Amino acid sequence: MAFATRLGPLVEDLVQSLTHPTDQSTASLSDAILRKLRSHPYLRTNPFEIEERLDGLDERFRVNSRDALADALNQRLCSLSEHASPWHPDVLHLLLELSDQPTFKTRLQSLDALKKSRELPPEDPPLRWEKVAREDGWERDGDLWRSPGYSNDDSDSDDVYHLSAAESSDATSLADDQSPSADDYLIHPAASESLQSVLEAQAWRTKSLQSAPCTAVPELQVVREALFMLHGLECSIFDGTADPVHDFQMADMAPETYRALIESLADTGRRVRVLRRFVVRPQTVPHVQALQDCLRQHLADLDRKLSAMQARFACPDGEVVVSLMAVMNELDACVKPLLTLSDIVTRCEEASFNAFRYLELIFDEACVAQVANKPATYELLVRVFVECFDVYLRPVQLWMQEGKLLPGDEPFFITEPRRRVPLGDTWRSRFQIRKTVDGRPYAPTFLQQAVGAIYSAGKNMVALRLLSREKVTTSLPLCEELHLDYDMLCPAGFELAPFADLFDAAFIRWVQSRCRQVGARLKATIVENWGFLNSLDSLRDLYLMAEGRAAATFCETLFVRLDSMDAGWSDRYALTTAGREAFVSLLDPSRLVISVDPDCLSTGIESVRAALEGIKVSYRLPWPVQMIVTAESMAHYHTVFTLLLQIKRAMYALHKTRTRDKSWTKRENEGQRSLFYSIRCKLLWFCATLQTYLTMQVLGPTEGQIRRDLEAAGDIDAMIAAQCQGMERMAEEACLGRELAPIRAKMLDMLDLAVKLEQDQRHHGQEVGFESLIDMAGEFDRLARFVCRELRVVARRSSSSASAKWDILADMLQTGVRNDR
């Protein structure tokens, strides 16, 4: 209860010391605080828990080899226990809660900063009467020590009274004279000509505004105020926004002239203030921070120039002519270049631009200043651009030299999506170029033509690093870093060269040379260490059927299984085994897998389109080769393989159509037999002609040209382009393009006639109906004429490089086409 009775007055004192409310609010606040304090559920700190935590901290120190720190802690805990206090657990609990990883962040050297002596300061000496008498001035008070008179004589009493009164009056007067008053502290300086001149010079500041519409200000004071304003300091003629105050007028100058001059100064001051506000504003983009640092340096140079001008007027060495116009002309040389930067900052602040908009504007303004013959502005802008661009180049150089990206680097135009990609897709899918809304790379305009080279150089380093981890053991050569400066960008003797061309010569060429150097190294690594040429040979032998014996062996096995009508003909393992056995001497059989698309199993075998288009031949290339032979190229390989397989299927069916029935040798069946062999001969001729065209005009020459282009390519991008363009050209020349889709369909119909002829002979027991043969002959002639005619039409109207090959094919087919006149 004693604690409760003391709690109320303490709370009231606390409220009164912290606030100044009324009596009613004091009572309400006190009651609310008392209710909180009386009902709070928090208990005192558990001293045993604190002791356990300190023991655990000691053990943690020793486990982490911080024995000296643990000994220091024990020493101070022992010293603390000698001075027992009930508040020690609370204090220690507070220190434990405030600590942040003391095991790793505490330094023993910090103890040296504590005071060595912990003794209490000496107490004040006891108060003595001598000190009181000295402070109150008892020795100056004469009546204090005078003995009073106690006589009954009235005259003596009067004399004593008057004497005491007189002496008291004298003592009082003396005391009054000796005690200082406020007037005693006032200093009345003697008249000074310097002080009088200062007062007269600054009199315009305190002159009443009602006496005249404008206060006349001397020209020297206007110059002084202008320099103060440009310094960013407060002044009277200009307000806080550098706008002129119209209550002042410069003496001995026409108002219109004064307003023109003062407005010009105000405009300059406002633009300089933009820079001063910009340099103190927090920025997070590194190259913008570099711009702030450059502006701080140039503003400091401007301030030194302004201070020198002020010193020249404040302490002149001789006669100085004060002229506001002369001061403005002198300031133009050092202020005008900064005003261009001020305009750039204003343009970026008024609209939300990208982070590198400052670099673009500085680059453009430097080009404009060079053309406008402003050498001072041009040099300043180029120097500022170099400082900012060097900072912007840091992630670019890290990417180009090591193939690494800084985490969370938004201004950089290359990004790595947060998803895993196969090693074969490292070149195409692992990294991406960040694009703007209009589809341009997220990079400054003056870097647009170098984005591709920068992108490729970094990918080359990534691929080389992956290859070196697995196979290549030689160290990677590092190209020297690029250090741009003013002398490098603008060498002596090239003053008339455009700045954009100078920048291209210094930077763009360095980027391209770096890209070529690393690209050539990566190409050599893939070709020499990863069997790139052997992989191309395997693709040629497998998909282009360059090795006839192996292709014939596989095709015969496939067609036998297909004609058997067995449900298991599409067994993946059986087809893969057949393919591996056929091509075992030409490629790595473990990389070959052959399967059939389930959607093509129910289409039948009466057409070359039916099951053959569903056969998928997959040859797994090494992942470095996959970067060059892309999925698009493999798709072209597969379409060519399917066409060759369809031709092989038709020729296989025709070779099976042989008449062994003796009844066909009779004279009455001579016409039917002649028609049968005529159709078979035409179909064989068509298949052979198509096979010859593909082999001699398309596959062989195009595959050889692809190899020559790959050998001449300087980097991976050029190799990918050569491979993709070559395979696309091969597909177009083989009539597999979209433009020849109707013609290709008619060609497949002609191949279907061969399969149909074989199917009819098998189903009718060696004898094919005469009417069926007549229909086949007419259908073949119609399709052949259509193919020849349309090939020539498309070849004439097309601008493709394959049109000449189509014309050759039409000429080859024309020899076997009967023209009905």
In a domain, 152, yes or no: no
- CA–CA distances in Å: residue 489 to residues 385, 485, 743, 753: 11, 6, 60, 73
Residue 363 has pLDDT above 50, yes or no: yes
Mean pLDDT of the residues in the chain: 81
Please tell me whether residues 414 and 551 are part of one structural domain: no
Q: Nearest-CA neighbor of 756 among 736, 780, 791? A: 780
For the chain, how many structural domains are there in total? 5
Please tell me whether residues 488 and 439 are part of one structural domain: yes
In a domain, 104, yes or no: no
**596 sits in which H/E element:** strand 592-596
Please tell me whether residues 484 and 619 are part of one structural domain: no
Ranges 433-447, 621-635, 665-679: which has the least confidence: 665-679
Query: HSE of 358 in the Cβ direction (CA atoms, 13 Å)?
Result: 28
CA torsion sign, 80 to 85 to 86 to 91? negative
Q: Nearest-CA neighbor of 261 among 271, 249, 273? A: 249
Q: Nearest-CA neighbor of 327 among 265, 252, 247, 245? A: 265
Reduce the DSSP state of residue 414 to 3 states and report it.
strand
Question: Which pLDDT belongs to residue 143?
Answer: 66
In a domain, 709, yes or no: yes
Q: Nearest-CA neighbor of 629 among 709, 705, 727, 695? A: 727
Please tell me whether residues 607 and 694 are part of one structural domain: yes
Q: What is the mean pLDDT of residues 351-357?
A: 75
Question: Which pLDDT belongs to residue 480?
Answer: 56
Q: Where does the pLDDT of residue 470 fall: very low under 50, low under 70, confident under 90, or very high at 90 and above?
A: very low
Q: How many CB atoms lie within 10 A of CB 364?
A: 16
Q: What is the mean pLDDT of residues 499-518?
A: 84
Q: What is the mean pLDDT of residues 391-413?
A: 83
Provide the domain limits for residue 330.
Answer: 212-352
**217 sits in which H/E element:** strand 215-217
In a domain, 304, yes or no: yes
| CATH number of domain containing 612 | 1.20.120.1900
Q: What is the mean pLDDT of residues 324-346?
A: 89
Q: Where does the pLDDT of residue 473 fall: very low under 50, low under 70, confident under 90, or very high at 90 and above?
A: very low
Q: Where does the pLDDT of residue 102 fall: very low under 50, low under 70, confident under 90, or very high at 90 and above?
A: confident
Q: Where does the pLDDT of residue 170 fall: very low under 50, low under 70, confident under 90, or very high at 90 and above?
A: very low
In a domain, 725, yes or no: yes
Choose between 409 and 376: higher pLDDT. 376
Tokens encoding 279:
């340099």
Ranges 76-80, 190-194, 397-401, 424-428: which has the least confidence: 190-194
Last residue of a domain, one of 505, 529, 553: 529
Question: Which pLDDT belongs to residue 471?
Answer: 44
In a domain, 188, yes or no: no
The model carries a pTM of 0.65
Question: Which pLDDT belongs to residue 490?
Answer: 84
Please tell me whether residues 807 and 661 are part of one structural domain: yes
Ranges 36-50, 227-241, 449-463: which has the least confidence: 36-50
Tokens encoding 638:
């597969």
Q: What is the mean pLDDT of residues 382-387?
A: 92
711/716 Cα distance (integer angstroms): 11
Choose between 469 and 259: higher pLDDT. 259
Q: Nearest-CA neighbor of 817 among 761, 739, 740, 750? A: 750
Residue 708 has pLDDT above 90, yes or no: yes
Q: Where does the pLDDT of residue 381 fall: very low under 50, low under 70, confident under 90, or very high at 90 and above?
A: very high
Most confident of 7-11, 410-414, 684-688: 684-688
Please tell me whether residues 417 and 303 are part of one structural domain: no
Q: Where does the pLDDT of residue 1 fall: very low under 50, low under 70, confident under 90, or very high at 90 and above?
A: very low
Asked if 816 contacts 682 with a C-beta cutoff of 8 angstroms, the reply is yes
Q: What is the mean pLDDT of residues 568-587?
A: 90
Using H for helix, E for strand and C for coil, what is the string for 603-628? HCCCCCCCCHHHEEEEECCCHHHHCC
Residue 154 has pLDDT above 50, yes or no: no
Asked if 596 contacts 570 with a C-beta cutoff of 8 angstroms, the reply is yes
575/610 Cα distance (integer angstroms): 17
Q: Nearest-CA neighbor of 404 among 394, 390, 389, 392? A: 394
Please tell me whether residues 554 and 587 are part of one structural domain: yes
Helix 286-314 to helix 255-279 angle (10° resolution) is 140
Residue 675 has pLDDT above 90, yes or no: no
Please tell me whether residues 54 and 35 are part of one structural domain: no
Beta bridge partners of 415: 432
Please tell me whether residues 388 and 511 are part of one structural domain: yes
Q: What is the mean pLDDT of residues 142-152?
A: 60
Ranges 107-111, 598-602, 627-631, 700-704: which has the least confidence: 598-602
* Tokens 């290339």, located at residue: 621
In a domain, 183, yes or no: no
Residue 160 has pLDDT above 50, yes or no: no
- CA–CA distances in Å: residue 743 to residues 684, 739, 793, 795: 19, 9, 11, 12
Question: Which pLDDT belongs to residue 612?
Answer: 86
Residue 517 has pLDDT above 60, yes or no: yes
Q: Where does the pLDDT of residue 162 fall: very low under 50, low under 70, confident under 90, or very high at 90 and above?
A: very low
Last residue of a domain, one of 352, 384, 409: 352
Please tell me whether residues 750 and 691 are part of one structural domain: yes
Residue 580 has pLDDT above 60, yes or no: yes
pLDDT tens digits along 26-81 = 778 888 887 777 766 555 778 888 888 888 888 888 888 888 888 888 888 888 88
Choose between 481 and 137: higher pLDDT. 137
Residue 721 has pLDDT above 90, yes or no: yes
Share of the chain above pLDDT 90, in %: 28
In a domain, 776, yes or no: yes
Question: Which pLDDT belongs to residue 158?
Answer: 45
Tokens encoding 447:
């870097």
What Rg value do the Cα atoms of the chain yield, rounded? 51
Determine the Cα angle at 297 with ends 291 and 298, to 5°: 90
Q: What is the mean pLDDT of residues 554-580?
A: 87
Q: Where does the pLDDT of residue 165 fall: very low under 50, low under 70, confident under 90, or very high at 90 and above?
A: very low
Q: Nearest-CA neighbor of 803 among 761, 757, 740, 744? A: 740
Please tell me whether residues 52 and 11 are part of one structural domain: no
Q: Where does the pLDDT of residue 187 fall: very low under 50, low under 70, confident under 90, or very high at 90 and above?
A: low
Tokens encoding 625:
């080769």
Asked if 541 contacts 548 with a C-beta cutoff of 8 angstroms, the reply is no
**594 sits in which H/E element:** strand 592-596
Q: Where does the pLDDT of residue 632 fall: very low under 50, low under 70, confident under 90, or very high at 90 and above?
A: very high
Residue 117 has pLDDT above 60, yes or no: no
785/798 Cα distance (integer angstroms): 20
Question: Which pLDDT belongs to residue 19?
Answer: 75
336/381 Cα distance (integer angstroms): 12
Residue 194 has pLDDT above 60, yes or no: yes
Query: Using the 8-state DSSP alphabet, how is residue 482 labeled?
Result: P
Last residue of a domain, one of 529, 547, 579: 529
430/420 Cα distance (integer angstroms): 8
> By 3-state DSSP, what share of the chain in percent is helix, strand and coil, each rounded to 5?
70, 5, 30
Q: What is the mean pLDDT of residues 761-782?
A: 75
Question: Which pLDDT belongs to residue 159?
Answer: 46
Q: What is the mean pLDDT of residues 499-527?
A: 85
801/18 Cα distance (integer angstroms): 92
* Tokens 């259908």, located at residue: 779
- CA–CA distances in Å: residue 624 to residues 529, 543, 716: 10, 20, 10
Question: Which pLDDT belongs to residue 188?
Answer: 63
Please tell me whether residues 629 and 765 are part of one structural domain: yes
Beta bridge partners of 596: 615
